[in-house]
Amino acid sequence: MSEILDKSVEQHYLCKECLKTWSARTDIVEEGHTLSHQLKRSVLHMAREGITATGIARICHCSPSSVIRIIDEAVELKLRVARLPENLCLDEFRSVNSTMSFICCDAEVSHDIVAILENRSTKTIREHFMNRYTNLERAAVKSVVVDLNAQYIKFIKALFPNARIIIDRFHIVHWAMQG
């Protein structure tokens, strides 16, 4: 392993005229912290390799609690429903500040919400399902009900390979009445 700047010692300076103190600043560490950015990256890399927190602490010359704190700060908790329903409904709705958000719910009688995402971009939706559900769980989805939004139809087969795409009848009737 290459040499890593483990810790920085914060230097304090005193103005002899006004008696105010200040600290030196550097790009190597965050303000108010002592562990370097490089050390934090190394800790995360070793954690991905499966090394224990105590092992990482020993290698990086820091405490196991610092290792755990670094990992906790870097990892976003992935919330998910326990089981992905067999039949899903996908739609968008106007939410905060008139922006469009994404909603996914159980298409069965309960209509339990599976996910609400802050935007309806393909990237956000794909990442949500790919990062929270295994290929096996997503393959168990039998049908997905959508409106006539072509964006959803493009990625449904990639996310839910065995699902039938069903166009919501409200949108079919609405489209037919306009035509």
Could you read off the pLDDT of 43-91 as tens digits, one per residue? 989 988 889 999 999 999 999 999 989 888 877 655 666 788 999 999 9
Residue 19 lies inside a defined structural domain of this protein: yes
Residue 81 lies inside a defined structural domain of this protein: no
Residue 57: CATH number of its domain: 1.10.10
Confidence of residue 1 (pLDDT cuts 50, 70, 90): very low
Number of neighbours of residue 17 by Cβ within 10 angstroms: 6
Name which of 148, 43, 7, 131 is nearest 80 in CA terms: 131
| For residue 5, pLDDT beyond 60 | no
* Distance from C-alpha of 61 to C-alpha of 57, rounded to nearest angstrom: 6
Question: 32-49 as b/e, with b when 16 or more CB fall inside 10 Å?
Answer: eeebbeebbebbbebbee
| For residue 28, pLDDT beyond 80 | no
With the CA atoms of 90, 167, 152 and 138 taken in that order, what torsion angle do they form, in degrees rounded to the nearest 10? 60
Which domain-ending residue is among 51, 74, 97? 74
Name which of 49, 55, 32, 41 is nearest 6 in CA terms: 41
Task: Encode pLDDT of 9-26 as tens digits.
Answer: 557 778 888 888 877 777
Residues of the domain holding 136: 87-178
Task: Encode pLDDT of 147-165 as tens digits.
Answer: 877 788 888 999 999 999 9
The number of folded domains in the chain is 2
The per-residue pLDDT for 165 is 93
Task: Encode pLDDT of 80-129 as tens digits.
Answer: 667 889 999 999 888 877 788 999 999 887 888 898 898 889 999 999 99
Residues 58 and 116 in one domain: no
Residue 116 lies inside a defined structural domain of this protein: yes
Query: For the residues 29-54, what does the mean pLDDT come to?
Result: 86
Residues 117 and 41 in one domain: no
* Distance from C-alpha of 93 to C-alpha of 41, rounded to nearest angstrom: 38
Residue 165 lies inside a defined structural domain of this protein: yes
| For residue 3, pLDDT beyond 70 | no
CB-CB contact of 1 with 59 (8 Å):
yes
